[in-house]
Amino acid sequence: MKKLFFPLISLLLLLLTACYNQVTTGDHGAIDVETQLKGDSTRYGLACDGCSDSVIILLPNEGGDPIKFDIVTAKRNGMVYGNPQIGDELAIVPNPIDPYEAEMVIDLEQMKGTWTFQVVPKLKPNPTKTEEEILAGMSDSMKKALFIPREYGFTLKSYNQASPVGYIMKSNSLEDESPVFYPKVTVYTSWHIFNGRLYIYKDTIDEQGHRIPQDSVGFDSGSMRHLSADSMAALFGKKVMQYHRKKNALEANKEAQKAEEKNAATATVRK
């Protein structure tokens, strides 16, 4: 019995030590060191005690002592996005000439959450009528029932995960009878900050259910323009996208579902 007892105690201690090491050494920071993209000069970490309007004290994800960054120039240039608080996860792009001066600061803690923008449906092409003729044949109440805005967007989560906002369940096949259609929802699955730019990666599965090669996965990238508690803006290509914060994706999708049901009901009346 004693011979069995000591090996069991040793095994238990080994498991406890492994769990302890996993908890204490696991990186729960803004972006894990192992997943930081190659070529990204951004510094990631937590805002520490001592931050002010002119400096940010960053505890880097890779470990080591806190780093003091001068943010005066970044603030003057409008390159501090969000309102960093102690304990927030931050992304700081250093000045390439002075590594202790920040060119840009992004509050990743504030960036996380559900962000949406409104999408209005468009008229379906008609081979016999122009858009003006179709609209002229609709009553105001019909237009109001058909052109219901929906919330599209994405949820940015911890550990670089993302999910789409705007998906709804079709009420029935009568949607095909509706004279309007909504744009396709873009499926996002992950996100990164890369040298101060926001990259949101699209679905890794195509419409046939096949895995898309890693080097062919699409993405949208934008440069930050604004970030606050309830709004965010980023320049994608030549268009500045304005987002507002939702409580969660379920709330936005619930509103979209109501719009779909109204649209289907209107199509039924017209039929």
Read off the pLDDT of residues 131-190 as tens digits, 9 standing for 90 and up.
Answer: 787 788 888 888 887 888 889 999 999 999 999 998 776 655 545 677 888 888 888 999
- Which one has a higher pLDDT value, 263 or 180? 180
CA distance 26 to 240: 37
In the chain, where are the structural domains located?
43-110, 113-269
- Which one has a higher pLDDT value, 242 or 255? 242
- Do residues 196 and 223 touch, judged by C-beta distance below 8 A? yes
* CATH code assigned to 113-269: 2.40.128.280
From 63, 60, 56, select the one nearest 105 (Cα to Cα): 56
Q: Which CATH class is domain 43-110?
A: mainly beta
CA distance 144 to 140: 6
Give phi and psi for 206, each to the nearest 5: -80, 180
Task: Tell me the two tokens of residue 126.
Answer: 């008609």
In this structure, what is the dihedral angle of CA atoms 86, 87, 93, 98, given to the nearest 10 degrees?
Answer: 50
Task: Report if pTM > 0.85.
Answer: no
What secondary structure does DSSP assign to 110-127, as a single string? Answer: HH-EEEEEEE--EEPP-S
